[in-house]
Amino acid sequence: MVRGATLHKFGDGRESVPRTVRASLWLLIGGYVVGLALSPFDPRPWPRVPDKSTLIIAGILGIGIIWGIVFIASQAYRGRRWARWILLIAQVAAIPGSIKDIHAHFGTAPAVSSVYILVFFAELVSVGLLFTPSANLWYYETDDNGLA
């Protein structure tokens, strides 16, 4: 047993989701909601509207990406170890682009960039919470598919 990690069992013997995992997923969802809600208030110029076929392709890709994020987050919440690793890899991969974007636009949109910085750090904390001792214990006791 990991020090400080306590789990409670559901009636059917499954371990309940630790607070850290619940908090992680709320931070992740909150970050995406704030990011999307903030987009219309971003004073940076929007790109010109592309032709109809490009919009359709972008829409399909956007829906696919959103579905993928929701699917992976839901799998992490269901105790799948591989899902938290994908979230970690995606977050680490986003660091250089996020830093570049924030640095490039901080002078023209400091308020919006500041909120994006807070959202980015909330998402970093979100992924970090998936690797706390109580989360580790829960993932290893819950995930029965044998994948790390």
Stated pTM of the model = 0.77
In a domain, 47, yes or no: no
Domain hosting residue 85, numbered range: 19-42+52-130
pLDDT tens across 43-68, in order? 777 778 888 898 899 999 999 998 99
In a domain, 25, yes or no: yes
**Beta pairing partners, 9:** 15
In a domain, 73, yes or no: yes
Mean pLDDT for the stretch of residues 3-27: 68
The total of structural domains in the chain comes to: 1
In a domain, 69, yes or no: yes
| Ordered alpha helix ranges (H), the chain | 19-38, 52-77, 81-105, 110-129, 133-142
pLDDT band at residue 32 using 50, 70 and 90 as cut-offs? confident
pLDDT band at residue 103 using 50, 70 and 90 as cut-offs? confident
In a domain, 36, yes or no: yes
pLDDT at 63: 95
In a domain, 136, yes or no: no
In a domain, 29, yes or no: yes
pLDDT tens across 113-135, in order? 888 899 999 999 999 999 999 99
Q: What residues contact 30, with CB distance under 8 A and at least 6 apart?
A: 122
pLDDT tens across 64-90, in order? 998 998 899 999 999 999 999 999 999
- Range from 12-16, 37-41, 84-88, 106-110 that averages highest in pLDDT: 84-88
Residue 147 has pLDDT above 50, yes or no: yes
Q: What residues contact 126, with CB distance under 8 A and at least 6 apart?
A: 23, 24, 25, 27, 28, 31, 87
Residue 40 has pLDDT above 90, yes or no: no
In a domain, 12, yes or no: no
pLDDT band at residue 144 using 50, 70 and 90 as cut-offs? low
